Chains A and B, each alone.
Chain A
């Protein structure tokens, strides 16, 4: 069984994003970029399936400009066998991402698509569900545990009231939550080895998918800033202020 792992290049999670002065978006020029943390977890899960002999090939795929191949090299340094860059300079919305991924899925025939539950830039939390819908596959979203057995996968999901466990027939789409696993680091020798692994480039506009967005970004603004308050010396002073000044207790 192949596992396909879509990964996204995003502003590193340690960087505090800055809104561009003209309100056109968030600054990404000269900012450290990394693989979306949820995608690292999804990739780790795929690698573990391969190590347990439940998968035989792990393929990373990303959609973006030429530089997006960085995250594919990282994915291969972590252990992916090969990678596919679907190249485009256009801004691609999650719906189009799902349409492009569907073409790749139909070409590669993976048994599982393992992906992050959301990208930490647009926080949309939608691509996996849309891809599953378009493929007519079952979905296991917000996964905290994945167990493959007998052409089925059992997925424990993080839901509002606790943990829900589903059984899905394969093929299926699984989206990773934070607690699914702790991703490995790419070691230096593996980073070197990854340079020799195959990376295929496909032009996005050659796949017969309409790349235009249905959702237009009108503007981006800073959220209202909270200002730091006061430091109080004692618990009594705190309780007093909560009662008389803030009037919350």
Chain B
């Protein structure tokens, strides 16, 4: 069996979530990777355990329509087609599945055998074991559940592929990015997340950032914090935001709604700071402080 993995680069490196998808794919047999645009090609060729890199310079905007069409044209050579459960993977792979009339399997956290997978349902309140009868299996995998393959150690051949002609129905206009020097949320060792309890955007920054700086932490947010304009949407952690599993997760002024827990409850150590002793976040926290975050955060910054 041979698997094909759609991988993504960032700042010339291959994203950790993509390297986790490659590790998952290795459980099926040989692994080829496909990369779009012109960034990260050298890094891709060095990845451990990859047989061949398919490089598609033309598809740098990763539009779903031509990318899914290209993957469909390659699908007869593969038993499994995977990607990270990233916004790109979740956009393209189900479209590929639609073209092939197969049932895609999203957010895989465990591979039992070549056709049997475990995935969370109901915001992670249940784990479903599912078995696919499709000849080509289309999966997105959750990065935090598979140890990524090493960045170096391989020497894959690189083959350049032409992209299918675009049909003009979809075009990329722009990407509005939020630049940040902080570690990426999904791969940070420490995450500190703020909720509605921070009251406004300026508190969100002035109270969380000094603690995050001391810990080298990424900053996350609850949906209520994002909706209230304290933080941009890509900082949202939860069922519909990012899924994180850092060594240490510090939840400040957020209640711990099930949709939020869905995105962080696999963290190794959870700390909660909340005024309300009955807040659900304390049910999953290893260490809790019942107190006012406006006092606790400055004190924490000093104590670190």
Contacts and interface: CB of A to CB of B under 8 A. Distances in A.
Given A158-B234, A161-B177, A216-B130, A238 B287 contact: yes
B234 A161 contact: yes
B170 A138 contact: yes
A231 B175 contact: no
Contacts of B90: 125, 141-142
Interface in A12-37: 13, 16-17, 19, 26
Contacts of A137: 169
Interface in B76-115: 86-88, 90-99, 101-107
A189 interface: no
A159 B232 CA distance: 11
A117 B239 CA distance: 12
B289 A231 contact: yes
B271 interface: yes
> Contact residue range for chain A?
35 or more
Nearest to B134: A214
Interface in B247-304: 247-248, 258-259, 265, 268-271, 277, 282-290, 296, 299-300, 302-304
For A17, A126, A134, which residue has the most chain B Cβ atoms within 10 angstroms? A126
Contacts of B176: 162-165
A238 B271 contact: yes
A235 B287 contact: no
A223 B223 CA distance: 23
B121 interface: yes
Contacts of B91: 129, 139, 141-142, 157
Interface stretch (A46-54, A103-111, A194-202, A240-248): A240-248
B73 interface: no
For A13, A231, A239, which residue has the most chain B Cβ atoms within 10 angstroms? A231
A126 B97 contact: yes
A51 B152 CA distance: 56
Contact of A232 (B95, B288, B304): B288
Given A124-B106, A139-B64, A166-B171, A158 B87 contact: yes
A17 B120 CA distance: 12
A136 B142 CA distance: 28
Contact of B288 (A118, A121, A219, A231): A231
B65 interface: yes
Given A161-B234, A218-B131, A139 B121 contact: no
Contacts of A231: 277, 282, 287-290
Nearest to A228: B283
Contacts of A130: 94-95, 97-98, 104
Interface string A208-240: 000001111111111100101111111110110
B40 to A, nearest CB: 14
A215 B123 contact: no
Contacts of B65: 138-139
Given A125-B94, A138-B65, A223-B120, A241 B287 contact: yes
B259 to A, nearest CB: 7
A167 B63 CA distance: 11
Contact of B68 (A94, A133, A221): A133
Contacts, number: 259
A223 B258 contact: no
A2 interface: no
A230 B288 contact: yes
A11 B64 CA distance: 31
A172 B90 CA distance: 18
> Contact residue range for chain B?
35 or more
B234 A217 contact: no
B240 interface: yes
For A118, A121, A214, which residue has the most chain B Cβ atoms within 10 angstroms? A214
Contacts of A246: 248, 269, 286-287
B262 to A, nearest CB: 9
Nearest to B189: A248
A228 B284 CA distance: 5
A126 B287 contact: no
A57 interface: no
Given A125-B106, A138-B169, A238-B271, A17 B125 contact: yes
A15 to B, nearest CB: 9
A116 to B, nearest CB: 10
For B93, B287, B299, which residue has the most chain A Cβ atoms within 10 angstroms? B287
For B123, B130, B169, B239, which residue has the most chain A Cβ atoms within 10 angstroms? B169
Contacts of B132: 214-216
A91 B145 CA distance: 28
A12 B225 CA distance: 22
Contacts of A99: 101
Contacts of B285: 228-229
B128 interface: yes
Given A215-B132, A228-B285, A221 B127 contact: yes
13 contacts: A123-B122, A139-B95, A161-B175, A166-B171, A167-B170, A215-B132, A216-B130, A218-B130, A228-B282, A228-B283, A232-B288, A235-B289, A239-B303
